[in-house]
Amino acid sequence: DHEGGCSCGHDHDHHHADEVFSSWGLENVPAMSKETLDQILDELAYGDGFGDVLRAKGMIPGTEKGTWLYFDLVPEQYEIRDGKPEYTGKVCVIGADLKEEELKQAFGK
């Protein structure tokens, strides 16, 4: 009987973001072409090959000398832009049921 309130210690009415969502990150991301990044982001934004992605952002060295690719992504929308050089490439992905091994393979090539 839960009518007067449950005493099991779990909150049955509210889900906290940290229980539903997780984040995945990678540093020292190797250089990649804008075309390759575009293919990865297209899957992140429109597909389910990496899990249920809610947000992703990063900065990655481009394959052309001195270029850096910055990106921001939300479901069904992303942007790639040129950015200032950084010390190391970084990627962060937030979502539910993230497929970490697939993300690592995509960004860690």
pTM of the predicted protein model: 0.79
Q: Is the pLDDT of residue 65 over 90?
A: no
Residue 109: per-residue pLDDT: 65
- Assigned domain for 52 exists: yes
37: which 2 tokens?
Answer: 């990044």
Does residue 31 belong to any structural domain of this protein?
A: yes
Q: With respect to residue 10, please indicate whether it lies within any of the assigned structural domains.
A: no
List the domain range (segments joined by +) for residue 23: 19-107
| pLDDT score recorded for residue 69 | 97
69-88: pLDDT as tens digits: 999 999 999 999 999 888 88
Q: Is 4 a residue whose pLDDT tops 50?
A: no
> What integer pLDDT is reported at residue 50 of this predicted model?
97
Locate the DSSP E strands across the chain: 22-27, 52-61, 68-74, 77-82, 90-96
CA dist 21 and 96 (Å) reads 5
Residue 22: beta bridge partners? Answer: 95
Total number of domains in the chain: 1
97: Cβ contacts below 8 Å, ≥ 6 apart: 51, 52
Q: Which pLDDT tens digit goes with each residue over 6-59? A: 445 544 444 445 568 999 999 999 999 999 999 999 999 999 999 999 999 999
Residue 3 lies in a domain: no
Q: At residue 72, what are phi and psi to the nearest 5 degrees?
A: -135, 140
Query: CATH no. for residue 46?
Result: 3.30.1220.10
